[in-house]
Amino acid sequence: MQKHKVQNQNNIKENNCKLVLNLIRDNQDSFISRADIAKITRMSATSITRFTDLLSEIGLVEQAESVINGSVGRNGIRLKVVEDAVLTAGISIDSDYIEVCLLNFVDRIIASRKLELEKRVYLPEEIMDIANTVFQQLCRDAGYPEDKIVSIGIACIGNVDYKSGTVYFAPQFQWKNVELGKIASKIFEQPIFIDNDLKSSIVGLTHRNKEIRHEDVTYLSIGMGVGSAVMYKGTLLRGSNNAAGEVGHVILESDGRPCDCGQIGCVQTYLTKNSLIELCQEEGRGITKVEQIYEAYRNKEEWAEKFVNRQAEHMAMLIRNLVYMYDTKYVFVGGAIISDFPEVFDLTEKKVESLLHENLYVNLNLNKVEGKNNSGIGAAFVAQERWLDQLLF
């Protein structure tokens, strides 16, 4: 039986206030008045005025120019959110970089900075110190004092407890049971919200694309690691341990290559940047960078064509499994491999059709993600939403 949260009068008022705020934010680039909101929500004009007055008092909403409502009646007053009313930071932690961005209240990234990491194991405290240094520099460059940033979201690789901020394991850093939330709170002295990088990525991807924000979506990322995240109607699928979508450690070959998680034949031992280099070296080729593989592929070298086709077959099989597991209308594929070497996506897309039943393939929207840093942007969105919930609720 599904558990239901008891809704008292205060809960209803708070939720309605958030609804009104979101309507104003969603219509930031158009014209929306109190009368428009009353029509959309079917709430009374008195209630809408009460909510908008409250949002104005706490500095989230302001009145703009008049809206012409035709020849009859008074003009309405356009409402809009205050762009810098809520500023949050998003920090993306990957095995090879840290990226920080600042997000304003109209969902625009106003500044970002990326720092490449050395190829070594880092302590959690080191990573947070580096992230704080990047954050401080970014605030100075953007012209905002650090205390203007009301909360910070952190997207971290590995299996993460988003409620406590504990990283149960992040094999790339050799972290186990790290209380990253507590460490970050001491260093930043700000409200901290931590989640898995792929779950943050799908939030960033869908939040920036309104047409898919409330659809069924799977996001697959392939780069230094492999992972996925799933949303149904705008709600994240988390699983009992926040591990739903952790396909990087699904076993692809039962007698395959060893993985740094301790198992054999995981997906990420065949599709990540490092694994592609290692696979080439195991074949006796002097490959030290993924770029060399694709340069040879573009030059139509026979070995590279076979190698990249095999990579595309593995990717197509993974996408097939995601379609059968989650059955979402949209599947987005991104990450450094896809953005840097788009031809592998084109090859993969052609192979997917033969692996799916016709009805599943016909109804599938398979898309390539062009942009990067969806995880940092998603972390900033999450920090914004949770801070607003604390403010309003």
Q: Could you tell me which CATH number the domain at 9-81 has?
A: 1.10.10.10
Which of 58-72, 110-124, 220-234, 304-318 has the weakest average pLDDT? 58-72
Other Cβ atoms within 10 Å of 207 Cβ, number: 21
- The Cα 388–Cα 60 span in angstroms is 10
Q: Which residue has the tokens 């809520």?
A: 86
| Across 100-106, average pLDDT | 95
Task: Tell which residue, 116, 310, 322, has the closest CA to residue 226.
Answer: 322
Q: Under a CB-based contact definition with an 8 Å cutoff, are residues 214 and 202 in contact?
A: no
pLDDT recorded at residue 299: 96
87-203+374-392: CATH topology? Nucleotidyltransferase; domain 5 (3.30.420)
CATH of 210-368, one of 3.30.420.140, 3.30.420.40, 3.40.1280.10, 3.40.50.150: 3.30.420.40
Phi then psi for 131, rounded to 5 degrees? -60, -40
Alpha-carbon torsion 131, 134, 138, 139, what sign?
positive
> In what helix (H) or strand (E) does residue 219 lie, and over which residues does it extend?
strand 217-222
- The Cα 63–Cα 154 span in angstroms is 33
Q: Which residue has the higher pLDDT, 271 or 225?
A: 271
Spell out the domain ranges in the chain.
9-81, 87-203+374-392, 210-368
> In what helix (H) or strand (E) does residue 205 lie, and over which residues does it extend?
helix 197-207
Name residue 167's beta-bridge partners: 160, 178
Per-residue pLDDT tens over the stretch 345-370: 999 999 999 999 989 988 899 999 97
Residues 6+ away with beta carbon under 8 Å from 132 = 187, 188
- The Cα 51–Cα 47 span in angstroms is 6
Phi then psi for 98, rounded to 5 degrees? -125, 130
87-203+374-392 shares the fold of 9-81: no
- The Cα 292–Cα 35 span in angstroms is 60
Alpha carbon 188 to chain centroid, angstroms: 22
Q: Which residue has the tokens 């280099």?
A: 277
Name the DSSP class of 373. -
Per-residue pLDDT tens over the stretch 153-202: 999 998 899 999 999 988 889 999 999 999 999 999 999 999 999 999 99
Per-residue pLDDT tens over the stretch 30-80: 889 999 999 999 999 999 999 999 999 999 999 987 665 544 445 678 999
Q: Under a CB-based contact definition with an 8 Å cutoff, are residues 232 and 218 in contact?
A: no
pLDDT recorded at residue 261: 77
Confidence band for 307, pLDDT divided at 50, 70 and 90? very high
365-368 and 330-334 strand pairing: parallel
Q: Which residue has the tokens 């033969």?
A: 354
Task: Tell which residue, 89, 67, 78, has the closest CA to residue 28.
Answer: 78
| Across 322-351, average pLDDT | 93
